[in-house]
Amino acid sequence: MYKEILTSLSYGMFAVGTKGEKIPNACIVNTVVQISSYPMTVAVSINHSNYTNECIKKNGEFTVSVLSENTSGAVIGALGFTSGRDGNKLENVKHKILREGAPVIREDICCWFLCRVVNTVETITHTIFIAEPVAGSESIKGTPMTYDFYKNVIKGKSPKYAPTFIAEKEDENDKYLCTICKYEYNDPLIPFDELPDDWVCPICGAPKSVFKKQEQ
**pLDDT tens per residue, range 173-186:** 688 998 887 888 88
Residue 158 lies in a domain: no
Q: What is the DSSP string of 73-99?
A: HHHHHHHHSS-TTSS-TTTTS-EEE-T
Residue 6 lies in a domain: no
Residues 31 and 97 placed together within one structural domain of the fold: yes
In whole angstroms, what is the distance from residue 187 CA to residue 137 CA? 39
Residues 148 and 187 placed together within one structural domain of the fold: no
Mean pLDDT, residues 63-89 taken together: 90
Residues 123 and 200 placed together within one structural domain of the fold: no
Residues 196 and 130 placed together within one structural domain of the fold: no
Instruction: Report the predicted TM-score, pTM, of the whole model to 2 decimal places.
Output: 0.74
Residue of 126, 134, 141 lying closest to 71 (CA atoms):
141
Residues 132 and 101 placed together within one structural domain of the fold: yes
Residue of 173, 128, 133 lying closest to 41 (CA atoms):
133
Q: Is the dihedral of CA 21, 117, 12, 48 positive or negative?
A: positive
- C-alpha distances out from residue 20 to 51, 164, 196, Å: 9, 25, 29
Residues 134 and 62 placed together within one structural domain of the fold: yes
Residue 164 lies in a domain: no
Residue 104 lies in a domain: yes
Residues 130 and 198 placed together within one structural domain of the fold: no
Q: How many domains does the chain have?
A: 2
Higher pLDDT: 69 or 107? It is 69
Sheet order of strands, 184-185 included: 184-185, 176-178, 211-213
Residue 178, strand partner residues: 211
Lowest mean pLDDT among 6-10, 41-45, 82-86, 148-152: 6-10
Residues 97 and 183 placed together within one structural domain of the fold: no
pLDDT tens-digit series, residues 111-149: 999 999 999 999 989 999 999 999 999 999 999 999 888
Residue of 212, 54, 203 lying closest to 127 (CA atoms):
54
Give the confidence band of 161 by pLDDT, cuts at 50, 70, 90: low
Give phi and psi for 80, each to the nearest 5: -105, -15
Determine the 3-state secondary structure of 55 from DSSP: helix
**Full residue range of the structural domain in which residue 106 is found:** 11-152
